[in-house]
Amino acid sequence: MILVTGGAGFIGANFVLDWLASGEEPVLTLDKLTYAGNLENLASLQGDSRHTFEQGDIGDAELLTRLLAQHQPRAVVNFAAESHVDRSILGPDDFIQTNIVGTFQLLEAVRKHWGGLSGQAQAEFRFLHVSTDEVYGSLCATEPAFTETHRYEPNSPYSASKAASDHLVRAYHHTYGLPVLTTNCSNNYGPYHFPEKLIPLLIVNALAGKDLPVYGDGMQVRDWLYVKDHCSAIRRVLEAGRLGEVYNVGGWNEKPNIEIVHTVCALLDELRPRTDGVGYQSQITFVKDRPGHDRRYAIDARKLEKELGWKPAETFDSGIRKTVQWYLDHPEWVAHVQSGAYRDWVQTQYEASPIV
């Protein structure tokens, strides 16, 4: 079996669902269930004996020791993190605690467990750390995409905390020989994406008749990957990645934010037109920029393609259409995640945010 941390969040839940849809190997999900963790994401696994859920913190050494001893996973896939850049700007503490201290505690517990395994189990054990392209910093328009050897230049408390966790993972391989793998992926989108992030926020706000907030001039570039392609990349790296290596994951889909906004509006105009006949673009509102906003991310995923034969299955057009349709088909999921805590966040982040 494998242990998946953060498996009730956006990418983690997609990973657990895909894993169990494509094989029989059981999964133990460990998740603290922060505001971003949602057991509804895993509701289709209720009664499935291959899945076990444990609520807990990756920073809880005692819990980790017990779970590793009890379940004897052959691999740990670490998704657990605080993941939203804007929240890290308003309050970095949780990011330091989970992304740095939590990853350290997890590595320590795994190192001790792994050290006690016998020959073959020890040789086959894997620790896969899921990280981000944001650790590489920001590119200008003409620079080549990030390769795995690009210098680390994180610019937000979020990316700095992820960079620190990547360095710890690297050090545990170099120093202790822990069999680690690291993936650095670009922006994901797809089902179960929490509507604090750009694409799901646009969809839910559009449908609710609210503003579609675009930071600054909307010309910041992100490189978008459908979440299930990220999951297939992680499965492939876990299966065949070389120990201690880093693999960049991306979909070669660089797009300025404003283009994303127009695409989502056009899809909604087609699939769920406004009753007054006005296009959703009328809801676009330019607001104050994110402090320290990285201008451009772009991932060079050729290493993963060449070494492990991985390629994304979705184009941006097919993935974004599936995504918008998923949100239209799951109004209850959307309603449930828009809890009081979510409304508080939206108020803090946007209501003080002047229209420019």
Which residues sit at the interface with ligand DAU, rule CB under 6 A?
83-85, 132-134, 186-187, 197-198, 201, 213-215, 220, 222, 257, 290, 297
Closest CA to 281 of 299, 266, 270, 303: 266
Which residue number places its CB atom closest to ligand NAD? 9
Closest CA to 135 of 160, 118, 108, 104: 160
Query: CB-wise, 74 or 293, nearer to ligand DAU?
Result: 293
Closest CA to 40 of 353, 339, 352, 337: 337
Amino acid at 210: K
CB of 155 to ligand DAU, least distance (A): 11
Cα atoms in the 13 Å half-sphere on the side-chain side of 195: 27
Judged by beta carbon distances under 5 to 8 A according to partner kind, the member of ligand DAU, ligand NAD, none in contact with residue 222 is ligand DAU
Residues making contact with ligand NAD (CB under 6 A): 5-6, 8-12, 31-34, 36-37, 57-59, 79-83, 98, 102, 130, 132, 162, 185, 187-188, 194
Q: Are 171 and 164 in contact (CB under 8 A)?
A: no
Among this protein's residues, is 31 annotated catalytic?
no
Distance (Å, rounded) from C-alpha 200 to C-alpha 140?
Answer: 27
Query: Which of the residues 133, 166, 196, 294 is marked catalytic?
Result: 133
Among this protein's residues, is 342 annotated catalytic?
no
Query: CB-wise, 79 or 114, nearer to ligand NAD?
Result: 79
Judged by beta carbon distances under 5 to 8 A according to partner kind, the member of ligand DAU, ligand NAD, none in contact with residue 235 is none
Q: Are 156 and 169 in contact (CB under 8 A)?
A: no
Query: Which of the residues 31, 57, 82, 134 is marked catalytic?
Result: 134
Query: CB-wise, 34 or 220, nearer to ligand NAD?
Result: 34
Among this protein's residues, is 24 annotated catalytic?
no
CB of 328 to ligand DAU, least distance (A): 20
Q: Compute φ and ψ for 301, nearest 5 degrees.
A: -100, 20
Judged by beta carbon distances under 5 to 8 A according to partner kind, the member of ligand NAD, ligand DAU, none in contact with residue 297 is ligand DAU
Distance (Å, rounded) from C-alpha 159 to C-alpha 211?
Answer: 28
Query: Which of the residues 57, 82, 158, 229 is marked catalytic?
Result: 158
Distance (Å, rounded) from C-alpha 126 to C-alpha 230?
Answer: 18
Helix (H) / strand (E) element for 249: namely strand 246-249
Catalytic residues: 133-134, 158
